[in-house]
Structure 1
Amino acid sequence: MLTALDAPAEKLDDQEANFVAQIRNHGWFRSNIFEDETGPGFSYTTGFWAGAEAPEIIVFSLKSEIAHDVLWDVYRDLKAGESFPIGQRLSTVFSNIEAVLLPVSKDFYPAYLGWSRWFYAGDDWPCLQLIWPDSQGIFPWEEGYEERFANSQPNLTGAPWPSI
């Protein structure tokens, strides 16, 4: 698979060169998008697929530092050979709450995953959405999910939320 890592350095602008350098040096890069009038802030990875043969990950509405730390831990675990089942409750991603990983529909790649699309020269790579529960441990698809979190995690599966 060809990626931006294979691009001649003279073909990259400064921002692209820095992005590629971060992936060369660390194995992956986290893009952080701030909340605005169109939706919540989010972070997503680039390099998990190329360097760890694992899907990229997108997560919404976490503080930047928390998202970064969680994604670093996931990357280290993946590089150490751990795998994370899709569509199941996981107690190993966050230290004090469960999480669920769900496949992201490629329909959402253009709106949310720009740098990854550039890096991989298209959409031929997988991405998972890391879903966290509300303060009571209830996920968005479950009865009783706290209303204050209703717009914190858009559903990027391309289907109704699953029942897990």
Structure 2
Amino acid sequence: MTKDSDLATALDAPKSALDADEQRFVEQIRDKGWFHTGVTADDEGPGFSYTTGFWVNQGFPEILVFALRQETAHAVLQGIYDDIAAGNPPPVGAVTDNIFKNAPALLLPIAKSHYADYLGWNRWFYGNDSFPCLQLFWPDKAGLLPGQPGADEELHALQPVLIESADDTH
């Protein structure tokens, strides 16, 4: 994937058109390359974190991960961003040991039908849903990922599966 420097985003908006939160958001993407949005757990589901800026600045899909402590999620996502920027992007659709130390991880495309529920700031930043996003899956204590035979069932509750399926028409 390549960086799309002609991509229209909130980076192109005049500062006067943005409120204080939007300006802070855009400035972080300008300064650091990406922004980490953290959403706390509630009665509707587990907490999650996602990136904004990976796509516009590195040509790599945004990433969403469930149920990691915010500090842990930020460190993991920063590590992925740094790897992408160094020319070593993680594989998509294949288990890898390069994201977590001594544990497998898996990145799979999120169905666009889930964008409205989980990716509010990204939808604002890009102005639509025409950006790719991946879900990062992490393993249980036995090293098994959700969906693998023998994986801890509680892991499924912590990591709702938002990936595209054969039935997804979006």
Query: What TM-score results when the alignment is normalised by the length of structure 2?
Result: 0.91
Match of 2:135, as an amino acid? Q
| 3-state SS of paired residue (1:91) | strand
Match of 1:145, as an amino acid? A
- The corresponding residue for 1:27 is 33
Tell me how far 1:13 sits from its aligned partner. 0.5
Q: Tell me, in whole angstroms, the C-alpha distance in 1 between the residues paired with 2:68 and 2:55.
A: 22
Aligned-residue Cα RMSD (Å) equals 1.0
Tell me how far 1:158 sits from its aligned partner. 3.5
- The corresponding residue for 2:103 is 97
- The corresponding residue for 2:157 is 151
Tell me how far 1:150 sits from its aligned partner. 2.7
Q: Tell me, in whole angstroms, the C-alpha distance in 2 between the residues paired with 1:139 and 1:95.
A: 15
Match of 2:100, as an amino acid? F
Which runs of at least 4 in structure 1 moved beyond 6 Å after TM superposition? none
- The corresponding residue for 2:112 is 106
- The corresponding residue for 2:51 is 45
Q: Tell me, in whole angstroms, the C-alpha distance in 1 between the residues paired with 2:60 and 2:28.
A: 18
Tell me how far 1:151 sits from its aligned partner. 0.4
* 8 Å Cα contact 2:110-2:135 kept in structure 1: yes
Q: Tell me, in whole angstroms, the C-alpha distance in 2 between the residues paired with 1:158 and 1:76.
A: 26
Identity %: 49
User: How many correspondences in the alignment?
Assistant: 160
Q: Tell me, in whole angstroms, the C-alpha distance in 1 between the residues paired with 2:164 and 2:56.
A: 24
Query: What TM-score results when the alignment is normalised by the length of structure 1?
Result: 0.95
| 3-state SS of paired residue (1:118) | helix
Q: Tell me, in whole angstroms, the C-alpha distance in 1 between the residues paired with 2:154 and 2:86.
A: 37
Tell me how far 1:124 sits from its aligned partner. 0.7
Q: Mind listing any 5+ residue stretches in structure 2 that lack a counterpart? A: 1-6
Tell me how far 1:159 sits from its aligned partner. 2.5
Q: Tell me, in whole angstroms, the C-alpha distance in 2 between the residues paired with 1:48 and 1:121.
A: 15
| 3-state SS of paired residue (1:81) | coil
